[in-house]
Amino acid sequence: MNKYESVVIINPNLDEAGIKALQEKFVGLINQNGKVESVEELGKKKLAYEIKKNAEAYYTVFHFEAKPEWVAELERVYRITDDVLKFIVVKKD
């Protein structure tokens, strides 16, 4: 299993409960196929440019271990989740 870091930019119009639910959804999904090492909530930050007419967004960073072939499935779930504005998954050395 490889170590990964995933940054997820979440819609700022969600309330705290909605953000927590989304984070728990992703943690549960990652734990089914790997292991979450840590979750960092960076909070609401100003974006460098507008994304879907939003100037701010919530940032969450997931540090986890998973099999390489499973990362594509995680990215697919990110893409189909409406409240995820942007995401990136990077393999750590």
Between helices 71-80 and 16-33, what is the axis angle to 10°? 160
Dihedral angle of Cα 40, 63, 11, 56, to the nearest 10 degrees: 60
Is 0.85 surpassed by the pTM of this model? yes
Number of structural domains in the chain: 1
Q: Once rounded to an integer, what is the mean pLDDT over residues 39-64? A: 93
Pick the closest to residue 78 from 6, 12, 17, 13 (CA basis): 6
Within a domain: residue 93? no
Within a domain: residue 90? no
Q: Once rounded to an integer, what is the mean pLDDT over residues 10-37? A: 91
pLDDT tier at 33, thresholds 50, 70, 90: confident
What CATH number did the domain enclosing 45 receive? 3.30.70.60
**CB-based burial label for 4 (10 Å; 0-12, 13-18, 19+):** buried
| Domain enclosing residue 9, as ranges | 2-85
Separation of alpha carbons 4 and 18, rounded Å: 25
State the pLDDT at residue 27: 93
pLDDT tier at 5, thresholds 50, 70, 90: very high
State the pLDDT at residue 1: 87
State the pLDDT at residue 41: 92
State the pLDDT at residue 93: 80
Within a domain: residue 11? yes
Separation of alpha carbons 71 and 52, rounded Å: 25
Within a domain: residue 61? yes
Within a domain: residue 73? yes
Q: Where are the alpha helices (DSSP H) in the chain?
A: 16-33, 71-80
Within a domain: residue 91? no
State the pLDDT at residue 86: 94
Within a domain: residue 16? yes
